[in-house]
Amino acid sequence: MMILNFLRKIFGYFFDSPRPIISIQNLPTLSIVPEKKLVFPIWASQPDGIKSHKQGLPNVGNTCYLNALLQVLSSTPDFVQKLPSNSKICVSLSRVISWVQQKGRLSIFAEIKKLQLYLFQEFRMFNEHSENDPKELYLSLMGLLPDSSDFSIILYKKILCKLCHNFSNLEEPSLFCILKNPSKKEIEEKLKNLEEEKEYKGGNLLYCENCSANREMVMSTFGINIPNIFVFYIGNVLGKRAQGAYNFFYCGDKFELYGVICYYNSGCRHYIAYTLDNAEWMQYNDDHISYSSPDFEHAYMLFYKKT
Ligand SMILES: [Zn+2]
């Protein structure tokens, strides 16, 4: 357990960290807008000349983070098909995604308000008065799936004590790979590092339960679960951003970029999604849709799928 905690400290967000503990005191309450009072159109109008298979989502108050992520998840069949229907939050997510995919008719404004309430009830951190983060939401929504192995890089590792030769196995699941200054080179290096053998020595020892002391250890990877969906999160908010789209190969599989969430901060935060639709990039800025290549300089999350 101590080893596990130590590893969590080293890798932080790289591995699927526990949800932050949020105080539930003084949180504002949410309200649902009654559907009958709504005048929002059932179908959002699309600008002339736009032939998307999807439609934009209205911002019902600080929901750009939710709208942006749902646009990308609507283009992610692995998520849509695996989403269970055993809770209010999952049913509401399915309804909104169907609407985005132009498959369902409903009062979308009221449905997003409901979803906002269910997210708050389930996770506490997503309340309508906060500026929320699509990365945190992604982590939370993955927890709703009965099986998230399509989305998790799982490293199967062995940690060997160099003194007593006792070893223990460890599974390290991760929903993200963090990039600092995204480039094809950084992506390739990051993937290579996943499997690299690591030595703990000098001032960087690990605790051996067999020796009951800190020892020199070697950690090696003997297996890896390659997910269908590979998500990179760009951790260097103030630094350089991605310069373009990079597809990559990993363990013989080709991964292709199909979704990008961009982050803007000019006083208040704003998130915009881009998805690849029939080989053309579409921009979804809440309910505004346009043909546009991703603004890689503001990329925050990059979504790749195995092709
Ligand atoms: Zn030992």
CA of 1 to the centre of ligand 1 (A): 15
pLDDT digits (tens, 9 = 90+) for 163-188: 999 999 999 888 888 888 777 888 88
CA of 288 to the centre of ligand 1 (A): 60
How much is the average pLDDT of 126-149? 88
Cβ-contact 98, 111 below 8 angstroms: no
Q: Is the pLDDT of residue 141 over 80?
A: yes
CA of 208 to the centre of ligand 1 (A): 5
Among the listed ranges 49-58, 78-87, 198-207, 235-244, which one has the minimum average pLDDT value?
235-244
Structure tokens at 237: 């908010």
Q: What is the mean pLDDT of the chain?
A: 81
Q: Please tell me the predicted confidence (pLDDT) of residue 194.
A: 81
CA of 9 to the centre of ligand 1 (A): 21
CA of 204 to the centre of ligand 1 (A): 15
Cβ-contact 173, 15 below 8 angstroms: yes
How much is the average pLDDT of 61-68? 92
CA of 72 to the centre of ligand 1 (A): 47
Cβ-contact 303, 72 below 8 angstroms: yes
Percent of the chain clearing pLDDT 70 (strictly above): 80
How much is the average pLDDT of 190-206? 88
**DSSP one-letter code for 32:** P
CA of 196 to the centre of ligand 1 (A): 22
Q: Please tell me the predicted confidence (pLDDT) of residue 216.
A: 96
CA of 220 to the centre of ligand 1 (A): 16
Percent of the chain clearing pLDDT 90 (strictly above): 43
CA of 213 to the centre of ligand 1 (A): 7
Q: Please tell me the predicted confidence (pLDDT) of residue 143.
A: 92
Task: Considering only residues 24 and 58, tell me which one the structure prediction assigns the higher pLDDT.
Answer: 58
CA of 49 to the centre of ligand 1 (A): 68
CA of 14 to the centre of ligand 1 (A): 27
Q: Is the pLDDT of residue 102 over 80?
A: yes
Residue 8: φ, ψ to 5°: -60, -40
For the chain, state the CA radius of gyration: 21
Q: Please tell me the predicted confidence (pLDDT) of residue 49.
A: 61
- Domains of the chain (ranges, CATH numbers): 2-12+150-170+184-225 (no CATH), 48-144+229-306 (3.90.70.10)
Q: Please tell me the predicted confidence (pLDDT) of residue 35.
A: 37
Cα–Cα separations (whole angstroms), residue 188 to 44, 184, 269: 41, 6, 30
Q: Is the pLDDT of residue 134 over 90?
A: yes
CA of 217 to the centre of ligand 1 (A): 8
Q: Please tell me the predicted confidence (pLDDT) of residue 247.
A: 84
CA of 160 to the centre of ligand 1 (A): 8
CA of 257 to the centre of ligand 1 (A): 44
- 3-state SS class at 103: coil
pLDDT digits (tens, 9 = 90+) for 217-236: 999 988 888 899 999 888 76
CA of 169 to the centre of ligand 1 (A): 14
How much is the average pLDDT of 133-159? 92
CA of 214 to the centre of ligand 1 (A): 8
Cβ-contact 181, 189 below 8 angstroms: no
Cβ-contact 199, 206 below 8 angstroms: no
Among the listed ranges 23-32, 88-97, 137-146, 181-190, which one has the minimum average pLDDT value?
23-32
Amino acid code (one letter) for 42: I
CA of 162 to the centre of ligand 1 (A): 7
Q: How far apart are CA 190 and CA 10, in angstroms?
A: 16
CA of 165 to the centre of ligand 1 (A): 6
Helix H or strand E encompassing 18: none
CA of 216 to the centre of ligand 1 (A): 8
**DSSP one-letter code for 125:** S
CA of 283 to the centre of ligand 1 (A): 55
Q: Is 233 exposed, middle or buried (0-12, 13-18, 19+ CB in 10 A)?
A: buried
- The pTM of this model reads 0.79
